[in-house]
Amino acid sequence: MKKIFSCGNHFELAPFRNLLDSHDIAYLVRNEFAIGAVGEIPVNEAWPQLWVLDDNKLSVARELCLKLESEIKCTQGDWICHFCGESNASSFEICWHCEALPAIKT
Protein backbone atom coordinates (compact mmCIF):
# COMPACT_ATOMS: atom_id res chain seq x y z
CA MET A 1 0.00 0.00 0.00
CA LYS A 2 1.46 3.35 -1.12
CA LYS A 3 0.34 6.97 -0.91
CA ILE A 4 -0.23 8.49 -4.33
CA PHE A 5 -1.99 11.77 -3.73
CA SER A 6 -2.81 14.34 -1.06
CA CYS A 7 -4.71 17.62 -1.18
CA GLY A 8 -6.13 20.33 1.06
CA ASN A 9 -9.64 18.94 1.60
CA HIS A 10 -11.92 16.04 0.73
CA PHE A 11 -13.76 18.08 -1.95
CA GLU A 12 -10.54 18.41 -3.95
CA LEU A 13 -9.98 14.68 -3.54
CA ALA A 14 -13.35 13.70 -5.06
CA PRO A 15 -12.34 13.79 -8.77
CA PHE A 16 -9.33 11.59 -8.04
CA ARG A 17 -11.45 9.09 -6.12
CA ASN A 18 -13.93 9.00 -9.01
CA LEU A 19 -11.09 8.42 -11.45
CA LEU A 20 -9.69 5.48 -9.48
CA ASP A 21 -13.20 4.08 -9.05
CA SER A 22 -13.78 4.25 -12.81
CA HIS A 23 -10.57 2.26 -13.40
CA ASP A 24 -11.37 -0.33 -10.69
CA ILE A 25 -8.30 0.60 -8.67
CA ALA A 26 -8.82 -0.13 -4.98
CA TYR A 27 -7.71 2.63 -2.64
CA LEU A 28 -7.93 3.82 0.93
CA VAL A 29 -8.62 7.40 1.99
CA ARG A 30 -6.69 8.47 5.05
CA ASN A 31 -7.35 11.65 7.02
CA GLU A 32 -10.66 12.28 5.25
CA PHE A 33 -12.08 13.98 8.33
CA ALA A 34 -8.89 14.87 10.20
CA ILE A 35 -9.11 18.61 9.51
CA GLY A 36 -10.65 19.00 12.97
CA ALA A 37 -7.33 17.98 14.47
CA VAL A 38 -5.48 20.99 13.01
CA GLY A 39 -3.75 22.74 15.85
CA GLU A 40 -3.02 19.45 17.52
CA ILE A 41 -1.17 18.23 14.42
CA PRO A 42 0.40 20.19 11.52
CA VAL A 43 -2.01 21.28 8.76
CA ASN A 44 -0.41 19.17 6.02
CA GLU A 45 -0.60 16.09 8.26
CA ALA A 46 -4.39 16.49 8.35
CA TRP A 47 -4.82 16.63 4.56
CA PRO A 48 -6.81 13.78 3.00
CA GLN A 49 -4.61 11.19 1.27
CA LEU A 50 -5.22 8.50 -1.34
CA TRP A 51 -3.39 5.23 -0.83
CA VAL A 52 -3.47 2.51 -3.50
CA LEU A 53 -3.98 -0.91 -1.97
CA ASP A 54 -2.46 -2.99 -4.78
CA ASP A 55 1.21 -2.10 -5.36
CA ASN A 56 0.93 -3.59 -8.87
CA LYS A 57 -1.50 -0.81 -9.82
CA LEU A 58 0.56 1.95 -8.23
CA SER A 59 2.19 3.30 -11.39
CA VAL A 60 -1.09 3.30 -13.35
CA ALA A 61 -2.92 5.06 -10.51
CA ARG A 62 -0.17 7.64 -10.11
CA GLU A 63 -0.10 8.32 -13.86
CA LEU A 64 -3.89 8.73 -14.00
CA CYS A 65 -3.90 11.12 -11.05
CA LEU A 66 -1.06 13.23 -12.45
CA LYS A 67 -2.82 13.48 -15.81
CA LEU A 68 -6.08 14.52 -14.15
CA GLU A 69 -4.30 17.06 -11.95
CA SER A 70 -2.64 18.67 -14.98
CA GLU A 71 -5.96 18.78 -16.84
CA ILE A 72 -7.69 20.40 -13.86
CA LYS A 73 -4.96 23.01 -13.55
CA CYS A 74 -4.92 23.70 -17.28
CA THR A 75 -6.41 27.07 -18.19
CA GLN A 76 -9.66 26.60 -20.01
CA GLY A 77 -12.74 28.61 -20.84
CA ASP A 78 -16.26 28.07 -19.62
CA TRP A 79 -17.51 24.58 -20.38
CA ILE A 80 -20.72 22.63 -20.88
CA CYS A 81 -21.14 19.44 -18.88
CA HIS A 82 -21.17 16.43 -21.20
CA PHE A 83 -23.40 14.57 -18.74
CA CYS A 84 -26.21 17.01 -17.81
CA GLY A 85 -25.69 19.90 -20.26
CA GLU A 86 -25.27 22.63 -17.60
CA SER A 87 -22.98 25.60 -18.25
CA ASN A 88 -20.00 25.84 -15.87
CA ALA A 89 -17.51 28.62 -15.23
CA SER A 90 -13.90 27.94 -16.17
CA SER A 91 -12.95 27.93 -12.49
CA PHE A 92 -15.20 24.91 -11.79
CA GLU A 93 -13.30 21.64 -11.66
CA ILE A 94 -16.51 19.62 -11.63
CA CYS A 95 -20.05 20.36 -12.80
CA TRP A 96 -21.88 22.44 -10.21
CA HIS A 97 -25.14 20.67 -11.03
CA CYS A 98 -24.29 16.96 -11.25
CA GLU A 99 -20.64 16.85 -10.03
CA ALA A 100 -19.41 15.18 -13.23
CA LEU A 101 -15.86 15.79 -14.37
CA PRO A 102 -15.29 17.73 -17.60
CA ALA A 103 -14.91 15.51 -20.65
CA ILE A 104 -11.26 14.49 -20.97
CA LYS A 105 -9.80 15.12 -24.40
CA THR A 106 -7.66 12.31 -25.77
For the segment 12-32, the average pLDDT, to the nearest whole number, is 91
Greatest mean pLDDT range, 10-14, 34-38, 71-75: 10-14
Mean pLDDT rounded to a whole number for the chain: 84
For the domain made up of 2-74, the CATH class stated in words is alpha beta
Mean pLDDT of 64-79: 82
pLDDT reported for residue 45: 74
Asked if pLDDT for residue 43 goes beyond 90, the answer is: no
Question: What pLDDT was estimated at residue 52?
Answer: 95
How far is 72 from 80, CA to CA, in rounded Å?
Answer: 15
Residue 103 has pLDDT above 90, yes or no: no
| Ranges for all domains in the chain classified under CATH 3.30.70 | 2-74
| Between 76 and 91, the higher pLDDT residue | 91
Closest CA to 4 of 64, 72, 60, 50: 50
CA–CA dist 51, 29 (Å, integer): 6
In this prediction, residue 60 carries a pLDDT of 95
What predicted TM-score, i.e. pTM, was given to this entire model? 0.62
